[in-house]
Amino acid sequence: MVTVYFELPDEEIISTSKYFNNSYTDEWLDDWAKRVIREIDNSELISEGMVQSPVLGPITIREISGGAKALITMNSDNTVISNANSCGDNCAPLLAELSRRKDFSVYLSYPMKFGDLTFDMKIARTGRICHKAAEYEKEYLLWRQNMTS
């Protein structure tokens, strides 16, 4: 289950790219990472830390997208609240899938579009459990409206 924090103190929000670049180990670059890089970046993890990008050519793992770095961090590092604001809507299917098989936490302050996906999500500020986009969006909107009350 993914625990979603709509807001966090600035000092607790990780810089996805810098954190990933300074934290990843070989163990992080597993089958999940290969899949993330393939499905999000349309690229291939070809060897230790090397990626073949259709746009940029051969690049290092440090140059993959912020969304891919965030999804890999969510799977491999339970010591931090991953920054899902680095993830665009195209990351929603993998985030939803990951939420159904492991526990992790994310900071997510925008209404990611989950569409028809199902997921296991706990909203940190209310403790409510959401499995569908409409439930999550309702919680998100209540939080936003509560900010100006």
Partner 1 sequence: METKHDILVNNKRGVQFKFTIYRKFTIIRGDSATGKTTLFQMVSDAASSRVSGVTVSCDVTVRPLNESGYILELQEESNRIYVIDEDFGPLKSYDFAKAALQSDNCFIIITRESLPAIPYSYKEIYGIKTSGKFHSLERIYPDYEEFHNTGKIVTEDEDAGYDYYKFFYGDKVLTSKGNSNLSKYGSKNTLLIGDGCAIGAYIQDLLLTKSDLYLPESFEYTLLRKSMFLHVNEVKESLSNPGKKISTKYVSAERYYTDLLTQITRNTPAQYSKANLNECYVKDCCCKGTRCEFFTREKKAPET
Binding site for partner 1 (CB under 8 A): 10, 15-18, 40-42, 54-57, 64-68, 85-91, 109-111, 137, 140-141, 144-145, 147-148
Min dist CB 132 to partner 1, Å, is 14
The structure tokens 């604001």 sit at 85
Min dist CB 144 to partner 1, Å, is 5
How far is residue 110's CA from residue 37's CA, in Å, rounded to a whole number?
Answer: 23
Q: List C-alpha distances in Å: 42 to 45, 54, 89.
A: 10, 7, 15
Reduced to 3 states (helix: H, G, I; strand: E, B; else coil), residue 42 is coil
Toward partner 1, which CB reaches closer, 18 or 102?
18
Residue 141 has which token pair?
A: 């909107």
Toward partner 1, which CB reaches closer, 61 or 66?
66
Min dist CB 111 to partner 1, Å, is 5
